[in-house]
Amino acid sequence: MKLLIINGPNINLLGIREKKIYGNTSYEKFCEDLIGNAKEQSIEVDIVQSNIEGEIINYIHDALGTYDGIVINPGAYTHYSIAIYDAIKAVNIPTIEVHISNIYSREEYRRKSVIAPACIGQISGFGVYGYTLAIIGIKNYLESVNQ
């Protein structure tokens, strides 16, 4: 099983930005740990990050035929990117939306995701561990639909 992890705007600043919300772990350490967690599940992952909406859409398009699932943290694009929503719908690859913080306990504008309806699920508020939960979630989902 092979998954693509897509990180949106400012996720590359983990360990630097708003540590009370996003934690102290650096982006590099986060990626290293996530790859290790995926290996424990016998899953191969590739991790990409972009602050540019069009690049995120290209990552989604390029996943077609290569990846079994996608885990995406669209960052602020969560709240307004119909283009990312459309890309996920177009490729029809099982996708889980992840947020490090609990978006429902934050500012009102953060509580609405236009991306979530294109996904098989959403994980919010478990810190970076939410990505591991998403990996396990996609694995379980794919195993159940392929029985």
Q: What pLDDT, in 10s, does the model give residues 22-67? A: 778 889 999 999 999 999 989 999 999 999 999 999 999 999 999 9
CA 63 to CA 29: how far, in whole Å?
24
Catalytic annotation on 22?
Answer: yes
Buried residues in 74-111 as b, exposed as e (16+ CB within 10 A): bbebbebbeebbebbeebebbbbbbbbbebeeeeeebe
CA 74 to CA 53: how far, in whole Å?
9
Choose the catalytic residue: 22, 27, 85, 131. 22
> How much is the pTM?
0.93
Give pLDDT, residue 105: 65
Distances (CA, A) of 121 to 13, 37, 77, 99, 128: 25, 20, 17, 12, 16
- The letter for the amino acid at 118 is A
- Distance, CA of 82 to chain centre: 16
Q: How confident is the model at residue 17 (pLDDT cuts 50, 70, 90)?
A: confident
Catalytic annotation on 79?
Answer: no
Domain at 2-145, CATH homologous superfamily: Dehydroquinase, class II (3.40.50.9100)
- The letter for the amino acid at 138 is I
Q: Where are the domains of the chain?
A: 2-145
pLDDT tens for residues 91-141?
999 999 999 887 776 777 777 899 999 999 999 998 899 999 999 999 999
Choose the catalytic residue: 27, 99, 109, 131. 99
